[in-house]
Structure formats: structure tokens, C-alpha cells
Amino acid sequence: MERLALIALLVAAGCAPMTPAECVRADWYAEGEADALYHGIRPRFEQVTRECKLPDAQTAERAYMDGWAAGYAEHQRRADRHMWFCAAK
């Protein structure tokens, strides 16, 4: 039961928006890339930065989307490779 509670807590923490301090330090390209590559989710820049007061939000969003596009392309390559491997069996 404790293990289930810990997993639920970690999942909830992963969905939380960034703090203003985290926003300032963030590598937005890497954030976007990770969202697409590892999580396979749609872009969520606005959701993550809800609490941020970014001085240059357009530049941060552009970097995020560039990273997201690169991560999604790699995600698709891996999925295609997996499908080809499974079909070859």
C-alpha cells in the first residue's frame, strides 16, 4: 500500500507546474525534447509554465517547441523501428 501511495505521489509531482525559480533555470529545448521523446505527449509548454513569469516567453516557447519536434521525430523513429522489428518476427 505504501508503494502505491509513493507512486501516486511521484505521478502527481510530475504533473505540477514549475516554480518561477525552476522556470528561470530551465533548459527549454531539453524540456520539450523529453516531453516528446520519453513521455510521448503533446506539447505542454503552457501547462508547465502556468506559474512562471518568464521575461521572454516567446524565446522559451520556441526553444521548447524545437526540442519537442526533435524529440517527437526520435520517438517516431524508435516506434517505427520497433514496429519493423515486430513485423519481421
pTM score: 0.71
Q: What is the mean pLDDT of the chain?
A: 81
DSSP symbols for 35-88 = HHHTT-----HHHHTTT---TTHHHHHHHHHHHHHHHHHHHHHHHHHHHHHHHH
* pLDDT tens digits, 35-69: 999 887 889 999 888 888 888 999 999 999 999 99
